[in-house]
Amino acid sequence: KAKKTSQYELQTFTGWLLRKEQAGVIDSELTIVLNSIAVACKQIASLVQRAGISNLTGVQGATNVQGEDQKKLDVISNEVFSNCLRSSGRTGIIASEEEDTPVAVEESYSGNYVVVFDPLDGSSNIDAAVSTGSIFGIYRPTEECLANLDDDTQLGMVEQNCIVNVCQPGNNLLSAGYCMYSSSVILVLSVGDGVYGFTLDPMYGEFILTHEDIKIPKKGAIYSFNEGNYALWDDKLKKYIDSLKDPVPTGKPYSARYIGSLVGDFHRTMLYGGIYGYPADKKSKNGKLRLLYECAPMSYLAEQAGGKGSDGHRRVLDIEPEQVHQRVPLYVGSVEEVEKLEKYLAA
């Protein structure tokens, strides 16, 4: 917990960014990208909190590349995120859950960084005002981003170039984080030297440092899975889940907690410990969550907090993406809980 001195000595996110830049942990361009992401999250927070008033609940009436019925707020959050990143002038390529393919920022605004994001995570919960969030990851480009967009012969190459720049393993992440829109609006991120949490003070619209150096407890008796899919799971996974419900070893079974928003379930896991899982099943061979802007950023944060992110057999951060919207199974949280799961799957 940040030491509470006086109300006015608390660290704002802006101040924290400047200190990280002065310390040379991030450069001035990445500082600007992160600040633009914080602005996007504040805008989305206010849109989400007033959704019912401004008629922004419900569906857009379109489906995205994932085949999901887009909510109005999926589309608007995507526009908010894209515009903030674009106007930062430091972003070259963006990939979003809500965009079919990665988008190169036109030359006049183009900068160096590659940003992948899920603008509104858990959007099925939005009409019931249950926690939702935004998730992001930031990479350096792997090759020169072709900035020249007007020559359409290059368009195919630019698109290919963008896909190459976006499809990087999580090991290459320079920064990742999420903003949770819940009873508090909390921005949680890492720039490679631990995980920090900032709570939005609605009185003056600043993110205030409230969680310094978050560490996931080594173990935790909470499991977070959608057990509605139990019948479709692999037998070894069923054995693992059954073992968590057996009160004999410790005198009481694990608790089940499932919000249905990755950001909400993950944030609780970061602070309380336990394991969140979205397994593959007979219907979805690779599970449901997307590697680039859900599984890799969350696994990066988990590892920065002393936890673990696995697809059941290997580190999520080692997985080389082939497609932008590729799905992988995800098991993430307390290192002892994830390793226990991996042992069951390897048996």
| Interface with Mn ion (CB under 5 A) | 68, 97, 118, 120-121
| Partner whose binding site includes residue 290, from Mn ion, ligand AHG, none (CB under 5 to 8 Å by kind) | none
Contact residue for ligand AHG among 44, 75, 208, 262 (CB under 6 A): 262
Of Mn ion, ligand AHG, none, which one does residue 70 interact with (CB within 5 to 8 Å by kind)?
none
Identify which range of 12-20, 152-160, 255-263, 327-335 contacts ligand AHG by CB under 6 A.
255-263
Q: Name the residue nearer to Mn ion (CB basis): 121 or 311.
A: 121
By a kind-dependent CB cut-off of 5 to 8 A, residue 288 interacts, out of ligand AHG, Mn ion, none, with: ligand AHG
Asked if residues 220 and 334 have their Cβ atoms less than 8 Å apart, the reply is yes
Binding mask of the shown chain, residues 128 to 167, with x at each position contacting ligand AHG by CB under 6 A: ----------------------------------------
Residues in Cβ contact with 99 at an 8 Å cutoff, skipping those fewer than 6 apart: 65, 78, 82
Picked from Mn ion, ligand AHG, none, the partner binding residue 261 (CB below 5 to 8 A depending on kind) is ligand AHG
Shortest spacing between CB 195 and ligand AHG, in angstroms: 20
Q: For residues 120 and 241, which CB has a smaller minimum distance to Mn ion in the complex?
A: 120
Q: How many residues bind ligand AHG (CB under 6 A)?
A: 13
CB of 195 to Mn ion, least distance (A): 19
Instruction: Pick the binder of ligand AHG from 17, 47, 75, 97 (CB under 6 A).
Output: 97
Measure Cα distances from 7 to 11, 30, 76, 183 in Å: 10, 28, 34, 21
CB 140 within 8 A of CB 95: no
The answer to whether 155 touches 178, Cβ cutoff 8 Å, is no
Distance of CA 325 to the CA centre of its chain: 14
- Kindly tell me which of 68 and 159 has the beta carbon lying closer to ligand AHG: 68
Give the integer Cα–Cα distance in Å for 257 and 48. Answer: 23
Does position 268 interact with ligand AHG (CB under 6 A)? The reply is no
Measured between alpha carbons, how far is 144 from 82 in angstroms, rounded to an integer?
21
8 Å CB contact between 38 and 207: yes
Q: Write each residue from 196 to 235 as x if it is in contact with ligand AHG (CB under 6 A), else as -, in one continuous string.
A: ------------------------------x---------
> Closest by alpha carbon to 71, among 94, 44, 103?
44
Return phi, psi of residue 291, to 5°: -60, -50
Please report which helix (H) or strand (E) contains residue 199, including its range: strand 195-201
- Contact string 14-53 vs ligand AHG (x = CB under 6 A): ----------------------------------------
96 binds ligand AHG (CB under 6 A): no
Distance CA 117, CA 80 (A): 12
Return the structure tokens found at 190: 């890492």
Residue with tokens 């509470």: 4
Cα–Cα distance measured from residue 104 to residue 107, given in angstroms and rounded to the nearest whole number: 8
For ligand AHG, the binding residues (CB under 6 A) are 68, 97, 118, 121-124, 226, 260-262, 265, 288
